[in-house]
Structure 1
Amino acid sequence: MTSPMPMTPVELFLLGRTLMKIGEDALPAPEAGAAPHPGSVRPVLIALSDIVAHPDSAIGEIARRTGLPQSQVSTAVARLKETGSIETTQDPTDRRRLLVRPAADPSPRVAEVRAAGIEECLSKVLDPTDPRAVEEVTAALATLARHVTPATLARLNRRPEPDAR
């Protein structure tokens, strides 16, 4: 068996973009009659991931950790609060700030999104003549997700420590 060719940064970037688009398509559509939200779901999911990892954070802290503009975090928080995904409280040390945390009782929409699978969406984009493709790609993505998490991005931007000579 031959080794796969090394992946270039451009190929990795394009793979990430493709996977993001597939993930967006795999998300269940909101209920009929639900008010549509303008813009991408991307900042909402990024903000929610950070909120789950860092409950009781202020919007500015979420923006700093995620690299999203504060306006996008504020919009994402409003959308997440509307869907019952998060709760906000006033910061007891600074009444002007809101602290954000995952909702104690997730809404039906949150449960629906958490229960959604990716297999149906993958079957639309993968080779229909390969019966094992969905299973193989799903397993590969599970391995990748175990090793490359949103928390690993913090290491990407970390400055190397100076040489202690």
Structure 2
Amino acid sequence: MTPVQLFLLGRTLMKIGEEVLPELPPGAVSHRVGTRAALVVLSDLLGHPDTSVSEIAVRTGLPQSQVSGTVARLKDAGSIVTAPDPADGRRQLIRRVPDVSEWVSEVRASRIGDALATALGTDDPERLREVAAALDVLARHLTPETVGRLRS
């Protein structure tokens, strides 16, 4: 696989995911780019509560300015809370709110089967299982944190 093929595969997978994601509620994040960053930041917070903007940026590979803006929008939307770091008062620690929003519930309930079948142009169960299994392997090994290792 060439770098161009890998890039185009990533773009295709992202587009399939976008087709399945429910729209964000009004006032949360206003466009798809914000949705992508919001998902990456929220996913990182699942495994790393009480973390900082700079730590999220390192782990995810997102620019610190993008993480900072996303954190501000997620805070305004009520998806996360921040508190001063007891060890360093200049730094804010970020964590998800304990209650799951309706949108998060919708995202968790969403499945890619129909969008994958449409993108592949087939409803052949064997082909769909094969591609879904390959995606499961990739998802296990290529997590959002792997991007952070590319930039270090």
Give the aligned partner of residue 115 of structure 1: 109
Q: CA deviation at 1:148?
A: 2.0
Quote the RMSD (CA, aligned, Å).
2.3
Q: CA deviation at 1:102?
A: 2.3
Rg comparison, structure with higher value: 1
Q: CA deviation at 1:10?
A: 1.8
- Alignment partner of 2:138 out of 133, 144, 148: 144
> Any stretches of 5+ residues in structure 2 without a counterpart?
none
Q: Which amino acid aligns with 1:37?
A: S
Give the aligned partner of residue 17 of structure 1: 11
1:86 is aligned to 2:51: no
Q: CA deviation at 1:152?
A: 3.1
Q: CA deviation at 1:157?
A: 4.7
- Alignment partner of 2:43 out of 24, 30, 49: 49
> Any stretches of 5+ residues in structure 1 without a counterpart?
1-6, 159-165
On the 8 A contact 1:127/1:133 being kept in 2, the answer is no
Please give the alpha-carbon distance, in whole angstroms, between the structure 2 residues aligned to 1:55 and 1:10.
Answer: 35
On the 8 A contact 1:83/1:107 being kept in 2, the answer is no
1:128 is aligned to 2:114: no
| TM-score, with length taken from structure 1 | 0.76
Identity of matched residues, %: 55
Q: May I ask how many residue pairs the two structures share in their alignment?
A: 150
**Structure 1 pair 51–142 and aligned structure 2 pair: CA distance change class (3 A):** same
Mean Cα deviation higher: 142-151 or 108-117:
142-151
Q: In proportion to residue count, which structure has more helix? A: 2
Tell which has more relative contact order, 1 or 2 (C-alpha 8 A, sep 6+). Answer: 2
Please give the alpha-carbon distance, in whole angstroms, between the structure 2 residues aligned to 1:155 and 1:68.
Answer: 12
